[in-house]
Amino acid sequence: MTMAVMHPEHAGDERPALSGKAPWFLADWRDVLFVHYAIDPAVLAPHVPFDLDLCDGVAWVSLVAFTQVGLRPAVGGRIAALAMAPVATHAFLNLRTYVRVRGHAAICFLAEWIPNLLARLVGPVLYGLPFRLGRLDYAVDDVRRVTARGGNCEMRSEQFKRCADLPDDFLLERYTAVTAAGPRRGRMFHIRHAPWTHERVDVTVADDSLIRHAAPWFLRARLAGAHRSAGLLDVEIVGPHRIGT
């Protein structure tokens, strides 16, 4: 079981010093829906190979649905971008939690669903990303539907009505990500982007069978609230390096 590290105050917004580390890729992330769940650290910790980052003693997991547009190499111009066209634009659904790794407030990716077979092959090799194939339908702005092996996920957002108490920066402003394919096979990478512009929204999760199939412990998580953002342009993604878990 991993340790839990408590940071009751703002634990995000820690942009790492990336001087000398040029990004490998640029991308736009558009129409982003963050759906947040609180969970007992004792339930989650055995399933996460890094130290949990807690907010007021609570662990958090989030579902993040968005569309990546124009993934492209940071160098090489239009020709390099054309070479990446087959994997440049598609939808994502991420299951993530929040950890502390080497002094960074980080995102730990637990599962990710995408509809692109080529990206499914490349992402795990380059970054260790836990990609799974699925059919993602984000055609209607306020409804996100994902169908994949194991079940479905359907989320509907609407105008904010309730007064949800969310640690906004803790959940959103993170500039480091980690993945783990097994013991001693972790990877870390950093990103650069402007702070998220967002609004709190109400959300209805009509079906979460896909998430519970991938992570049975998700049954113990409590829906706490959601954010919505128009997204970010020109996100810089730095190459990964290996770390222990």
- Cα–Cα distance between 218 and 151 in angstroms, integer? 14
- Domains along the sequence of the chain with CATH: 4-243 (2.40.400.10)
What Å distances lie between residue 138 and 5, 35, 100, CA to CA?
A: 35, 15, 32
Q: Could you read off the pLDDT of 54-84 as tens digits, one per residue?
A: 999 999 999 999 999 999 999 988 899 999 9
Provide mean pLDDT across the span 184-191. 89
* Pairing status of strand 241-243 against strand 176-180: unpaired
Please return the burial class of 6, using the count of CB atoms within 10 Å of its CB with bins 0-12, 13-18 and 19+. Answer: middle
Q: Could you read off the pLDDT of 131-179 as tens digits, one per residue?
A: 999 999 998 889 999 999 999 999 999 987 776 789 999 999 999 999 9
Provide mean pLDDT across the span 222-237. 96
Please return the burial class of 196, using the count of CB atoms within 10 Å of its CB with bins 0-12, 13-18 and 19+. Answer: buried
Q: Could you read off the pLDDT of 170-184 as tens digits, one per residue?
A: 999 999 999 987 666
pTM above 0.85, yes or no: yes
pLDDT value at 8 more than 80: no
Average pLDDT, the chain: 91
* Pairing status of strand 131-137 against strand 23-39: unpaired
pLDDT of res. 1? 45
Beta bridge partner(s), residue 127: none
